[in-house]
Structure 1
Amino acid sequence: MKTYLSMPTRWLLSLLLLVGLTGCGEGFLEEEPRTFVSTEAVLNSPEGLEGAVVALYDFPTWMYHSTRYSYWFISGTDVARIGPLHEDRGTALYNTDLNPQHGASREYWNQSYQTLYRANAIIAAAPNVDFDGDEARRNRVIAEARFFRAYILFYLHQRYGNIPLVTEPSETIREKEQPADPADIYRVIVDDLRFAIDNLAWTYDDQPGRITKGAAMHLLAKVYLVLQNWQQAAQTAETLILQGPYELLDDPAEIFADNNENNKEAIWTIQFDPQADNYGHFLAVMFTPLYDRIQGVARTFEQGGRPWARMYPSAYLLSLFDKNDRRLKAWYKTHWVYDDPDEGLPPGRQVGDTVRTSDFNPPPDSMLYLHPACKKYWEYGATRDINQADSYKGIIRYRLAETYLIAAEAYMRLGDQAKALEYINPLRRRAGVPDLTELNEDILLEEHARELAFEQDRWFTLKRMGRLVQHVRQYNPDAAPNIKDCHVNMPIPQEFVDLTGFPQNDCYR
């Protein structure tokens, strides 16, 4: 099956991605120009604009190419704990490493604005290009670019709190910059997503990973939750559920199965192409303990493949699952077994026995060698061999189960318990656990953790509800001593502050 970012079109990534739309100031919004193709040549034809849109798809993939940035939307919550090998302790622990020079925070800001400038350039140029009367083609180009603009602005504002609003194709930053009014930011986001919904199709069958009407509608429903526009959130989520081509899969294990990431439940899956990408993503390995260092345990895909031991589920998260919850077995591994008799087994143990800490003498940090693991990103050989760290399995960014939770929350906020339960209980029935008979914010957050833990939404949901600091203090003992109320916003890169006089967020001044 062909992907939207596959050859022969993937070469067009270079046209805007490498063209040198740069800012000013050393280290800020700068790239080495690696192509002679001019911006004008890209933006003056339908084919060039379509290639420029393809370049925008590099943004949601770049952060997963590095282990350091893979944690950016996952760490620092109530459901995630980290091991001693974790590369970004600032994001995870809210310690002094989280400062105005913090690498992941700085890079995400820079990459976001670089991509934002490119999206703005496409949006500005497309109305002036001759599409030979094909307005649907023109509007599709604009709609994809506007989706990415909305996507970038939404996560920038949620992550940093104070951001400049950039809607023009400027190649430089202003000498003086101030935070934009959130109302203005969300006006752009909502307008962009509505345009995308009106001008994109539900599916592009030969192009998995391409932005669709459903992806734009799902993001808009999330935006309405932030705006506390409960009626619009409920209506948008419900329309997506009832009219879209998506459906909940019957078996939780099938959602994240190999070669199934573009399934009926997936609304948007980020694609990785081994022919075009130097690296895949590193989420497949980061949750797996160093089990193969234990005598009598072989490295196999059944046991978890290559291990990295960067992150693991919190005791709080695992405590939320009923023992019969099908999601626990499908998405988490809590036991490893002896399977390598040639190495020799501990006295009294045989192949198939569960590995226990008492069977071996681990170094002081035994959590490196045995800890529970999230299997949502595991990959069992579909795109990598047993010793390879990176995987090219697609990452499900948005899926219908989250849309159900959005609808449930929106109706709960509206005081309609019957409708709220109508949308949350299908997830529980699929999991094999009893229906809920009432829904409040605490119950909703618990179900959100069971269903969506490690799917890059937990931090944003806790912040939106005003529960981030409380939950980290209560359920994340590593980060609890450090987190402050002001850590609900990330640090603004110091280069940007120095260049523009932009105010630094609290906690980092």
Structure 2
Amino acid sequence: MKKKSLNLAALAAILISSLVFYSCENESDPPSVVTEESVWKSDQEALATVNAVYPPLQRLSSSYSFLLESATENTISFEGADDEAGPLVSLFQTDINNWYPTKVFNYLYVSINEANRTVAKADSSYAGGNLSQDVIKLARARAKFVRGLDYLYLTQLWGEVPLILSTTSSKKEQTERQSIDKVYEQIVQDLTEAEADLPPFDQTRSNPSKGAANAILARAYLTWASKPLSQNEVGAISGSKTDPSAVTWDTKKLEKAVEYADRVINSGNYKLENDFEDNFGVPAENRSPEHIFTIHHDGDGQGDAQGNHQTHCPFTFRFDLYQDNHIGPADVTLLDRFSDKDKRKRFSLLTRLYNQDEPLVNSPQSASDYKEYHYVYPITSPRVGKYIHRNSKYPEVAPGTEAGQPNNINRIEIRYAEVLLIKAEALLNLGKATEAAGVINELRKRAGLSDLATLTQKDLENEWYLELFFEQKHWLNLVRWRKLVNTVLTETPKFEYYKEDYKSVESQVAKFGPENDGTQAGKVKTNYPFFAKVYKHLHSKTTNVSGRFYRFPIPKGLSGNDLGIEQNPGY
């Protein structure tokens, strides 16, 4: 393979308007590059420089859904025709030309380059001038925090990756993949050094804090403790429909995961919301005691690099039930994973919603005073509920217009509930199942469920799934537990829409009767083509899944150039 330099400074300045974008990807120009000089001239300039690390991450808030959620058994994407980026991930046909790995991989490195620029200028600015030394430390700490988070995503999604730690890196540094242990060592070093100079807490949760650094360190140590697969190990299973052998956990790293989780817990700065639903929506931003670190969004055209399209893509056509959402649940039976007693159910997967723009009376006094829509067969499937803008008085009611669902909701990168799950998983694998159950019971109590006397692996996996449904953790968990392939192969065929009844419009008509023919099924209008598309995606998942999907392909650059990095197995 001919190698070309991964010029990250140039990447940030590339115009990418020639690429094909979809309605969930309203891209403006890439973030501008801060002019590099030897030192900062003011505190304001120092903070402005470090702020350049965030716009690349704003571009990824909704992209993680298409890359991570769609690459599991329980999510499908109809974001365009089946040969476009989102559907290809959903069909398990991801390749090196797919936009989502291209976007995520490259913009993480753009963010890293801006972090490197900040660190270099901070190091040069210590000598003197009019700057506050505390501001220099803060800017440097924020940059190191983001760089650590960026590399954690990179190694989780791509394995061994180049470690680029300066703005003057060599061609070898830009293209040579480093061992996973070396990448994690750098992640821990960055986050540990960041934690030392960050404030204990920041009311603006998109500003890193000690709490945020400790939370991400807990996440990093848990993942590292699972002994992530090497290039050779992925290569050994890349063409087979088998998972790797079970995890042999690293005890010392599990203990570190508990240690850093406890730092967050014992800080007293965070706690679970009393009501699960209060985590979500603009009113929770910078107010929720559960939010630890978020990615700030003002929305498209509001000074935001890219609005968070989580508000749009899972609820694309709102109350038009006959259109295909860009991304959503793969099956109606996913509802059954939630107990009816589980208070997390209605905000995670909704089956009905009232349209605020269609009041049935002049002065509505309850949710039922608005027109109700049902997201169930034979019209459509359930919707993800966490990112829908809700009526401030009635959460079962939502605006029906696009203007009422702006892309201005912050991405919750990590919340206190995940810290509890991390601690519980580490304790379980340290042989402390009873203590782990006590941690999990905090989540179950809020959800309205009974306590567990002890914790099993199945219980743990269930709580991760229910608590963080569609928060872009499911693929990462399946990879850590080494259950990705088997989960797709065993769970997907259990789905209702996997049945031959949904294979085509003709097969559905044969079973349920044509519309308006007087039969029970024909008394309501149905969306036969929608279910035929779902059927196709579900069968494609089981046909195409293999060990290579433990990683995503090393993509091309934003301009379509070969990055010169050795490809992952099977691509």
> 2:418 & 2:153 partners in 1: Cα distance?
17
| Identity fraction in percent | 25
Aligned ranges 1:95-106 → 2 under 5 Å: 95=93, 98-106=94-102
Q: 1:172 to 1:222 in 2, by over 3 A?
A: same
**2:337 maps to amino acid:** L
Q: 1:51 to 1:334 in 2, by over 3 A?
A: same
Q: 1:25 to 1:161 in 2, by over 3 A?
A: farther
Which residue, 310, 335, 338 being the options, matches 2:352? 335
Question: Which residue of structure 1 aligns with residue 402 of structure 2?
Answer: 387
Which residue, 55, 60, 69 being the options, matches 1:58? 55
State the Cα deviation string for residues 23-45 of structure 1 (Å, max 9, x = none): 699999x9989979731177565
> 2:13 & 2:412 partners in 1: Cα distance?
36
> 1:391 & 1:254 partners in 2: Cα distance?
19
1:507 paired with 2:503, answer no
Query: Cα RMSD over matched residues?
Result: 3.6
Q: 1:78 to 1:444 in 2, by over 3 A?
A: farther
SS at match of 1:259: helix
SS at match of 2:414: strand
> 2:42 & 2:191 partners in 1: Cα distance?
24
Q: Is the 8 A contact 2:97 2:555 kept in 1?
A: yes
> 2:30 & 2:463 partners in 1: Cα distance?
47
> 2:306 & 2:177 partners in 1: Cα distance?
35
1:142 Cα deviation from its structure 2 partner: 1.0
Q: Which runs of 5+ in 1 are unaligned?
A: 1-19, 296-305, 343-349, 359-365
Question: Which residue of structure 2 aligns with residue 115 of structure 1?
Answer: 111
1:286 paired with 2:313, answer yes
Question: Which residue of structure 1 aligns with residue 35 of structure 2?
Answer: 38
1:265 Cα deviation from its structure 2 partner: 0.6
Q: Is the 8 A contact 1:253 1:331 kept in 2?
A: no
Q: Is the 8 A contact 1:405 1:448 kept in 2?
A: yes
1:78 paired with 2:93, answer no
Q: Is the 8 A contact 2:79 2:86 kept in 1?
A: no
Q: 1:50 to 1:310 in 2, by over 3 A?
A: same
TM-score (norm 1): 0.80
Question: Which residue of structure 1 aligns with residue 528 of structure 2?
Answer: none
State the Cα deviation string for residues 212-238 of structure 1 (Å, max 9, x = none): 111111110011112211111011101
> 1:406 & 1:36 partners in 2: Cα distance?
36
Question: Which residue of structure 2 aligns with residue 321 of structure 1?
Answer: 338
Which residue, 471, 485, 488 being the options, matches 2:547? 485
Q: Is the 8 A contact 2:66 2:77 kept in 1?
A: no
SS at match of 2:72: coil
1:136 paired with 2:124, answer no
1:278 Cα deviation from its structure 2 partner: 6.7
Q: Is the 8 A contact 2:145 2:213 kept in 1?
A: yes
1:474 Cα deviation from its structure 2 partner: 2.3
1:265 paired with 2:290, answer yes
Aligned ranges 1:143-158 → 2 under 5 Å: 143-158=141-156
Q: 1:34 to 1:56 in 2, by over 3 A?
A: closer
Q: 1:140 to 1:314 in 2, by over 3 A?
A: farther
> 2:311 & 2:111 partners in 1: Cα distance?
26
1:158 Cα deviation from its structure 2 partner: 0.7
Which residue, 273, 298, 316 being the options, matches 1:249? 273
Q: Is the 8 A contact 1:246 1:264 kept in 2?
A: yes
1:170 Cα deviation from its structure 2 partner: 2.4
SS at match of 1:268: strand
State the Cα deviation string for residues 361-385 of structure 1 (Å, max 9, x = none): xxxxx6xx52111211111378998
1:443 Cα deviation from its structure 2 partner: 1.6
> 2:566 & 2:346 partners in 1: Cα distance?
47
Q: Is the 8 A contact 2:59 2:305 kept in 1?
A: no
> 1:157 & 1:471 partners in 2: Cα distance?
22
1:451 Cα deviation from its structure 2 partner: 0.2
State the Cα deviation string for residues 248-298 of structure 1 (Å, max 9, x = none): 111112111441133101111221125422752211132237563469xxx
**1:259 maps to amino acid:** P
Q: Is the 8 A contact 1:174 1:500 kept in 2?
A: no
Count residues in correspondence: 458
Question: Which residue of structure 2 aligns with residue 4 of structure 1?
Answer: none
1:482 Cα deviation from its structure 2 partner: 1.0
1:190 Cα deviation from its structure 2 partner: 0.3
**2:264 maps to amino acid:** L
**1:481 maps to amino acid:** T
**2:211 maps to amino acid:** G
SS at match of 1:396: strand
> 1:357 & 1:372 partners in 2: Cα distance?
6
**1:213 maps to amino acid:** K
Question: Which residue of structure 2 aligns with residue 5 of structure 1?
Answer: none
Q: 1:356 to 1:470 in 2, by over 3 A?
A: closer
**1:117 maps to amino acid:** N
SS at match of 2:285: coil
SS at match of 2:352: coil
Q: 1:372 to 1:127 in 2, by over 3 A?
A: same
Q: Which consecutive segments of 4 or more residues in structure 1 shift more than 6 A?
A: 24-28, 30-37, 337-342, 350-354, 381-385
Q: Is the 8 A contact 1:81 1:314 kept in 2?
A: no
> 2:267 & 2:484 partners in 1: Cα distance?
34
Comparing 126-135 and 229-238, the one that deviates more:
126-135
> 2:199 & 2:360 partners in 1: Cα distance?
55
Q: 1:243 to 1:481 in 2, by over 3 A?
A: same
1:49 paired with 2:46, answer yes
Comparing 124-133 and 433-442, the one that deviates more:
124-133
Q: 1:283 to 1:37 in 2, by over 3 A?
A: closer
Q: 1:155 to 1:117 in 2, by over 3 A?
A: same
Q: Is the 8 A contact 1:492 1:505 kept in 2?
A: yes
Q: Which runs of 5+ in 2 are unaligned?
A: 1-7, 19-27, 226-252, 362-368, 393-397, 494-537
> 2:479 & 2:129 partners in 1: Cα distance?
44
Q: 1:42 to 1:287 in 2, by over 3 A?
A: farther
SS at match of 2:413: strand
Question: Which residue of structure 2 aligns with residue 21 of structure 1?
Answer: 9
1:234 paired with 2:258, answer yes
> 2:320 & 2:198 partners in 1: Cα distance?
50
Q: 1:373 to 1:400 in 2, by over 3 A?
A: same
> 2:473 & 2:146 partners in 1: Cα distance?
18
Q: 1:42 to 1:375 in 2, by over 3 A?
A: farther
